[in-house]
Amino acid sequence: MKLIVGLGNPGSDYACTYHNVGFMAVDALSSRLQSPDFALDKKSNAYLSEQILFGQKTLLVKPNTYMNLSGDAVSHLARYYKIEPQDILVIYDDIDIEKGTVRARKCGSAGTHNGMRDIVGKLASTDFARVRVGIGFKPDYMALADYVLSKIPTAWRELMEKACAVAADFAEEWIAGKQWQDLTKSV
């Protein structure tokens, strides 16, 4: 079984914010693959969509916790389904990458992302794949939290949607078993 997790914050207040590009990418993948609708699983406190993709049972996941507690849902699902870290892929925003640039890696550290730090801590592993969607560097006049929780301006929305589509491409290749290592693509 494969687990593909998009990170974000629940609720309409956070929809279309930079911090929710992980949700946006998983939604793009779900739509492209015509996956079943997401349903809330109360045990994991995550929205799940399960299907068979490329011969693999695959679970698309959007944790229903705030970003900093993303590891709760991921670790619960990994334990429940007996999923090894190598069969997990996490898609999330990254302020250290230019807007419109997407990077995929087979493993690595959590960097400065608190949601990833929580997942790494609760899985006790960094040996899972990740796709980072660049949201650009925060303006000097803004606090980090204010920037990542701000709505994506109309001028940047199309670029961010294209970046999420690229993230979905990388996830689709990963599910299909294509060997990718440290890929970077700009839109």
Tell the residue number behind the tokens 């999923």, with chain if given.
83
Catalytic one among 19, 103, 113, 132? 19
What SS3 string covers the chain? CEEEEECCCCCHHHCCEHHHHHHHHHHHHHHHCCCCCCEEECCCCEEEEEEEECCEEEEEEEECCCHHHHHHHHHHHHHHHCCCHHHEEEEEEECCCCCCEEEEECCCCCCCCHHHHHHHHHHCCCCCEEEEEECCCCCCCCCHHHHHCCECCHHHHHHHHHHHHHHHHHHHHHHCCCCCCCEEEEC
Is 19 a known active-site residue?
A: yes
The length of the chain in residues reads 187
Q: Which of 37, 63, 23 is nearest to 164 (CA)?
A: 23
Residues marked active site are found at: 19
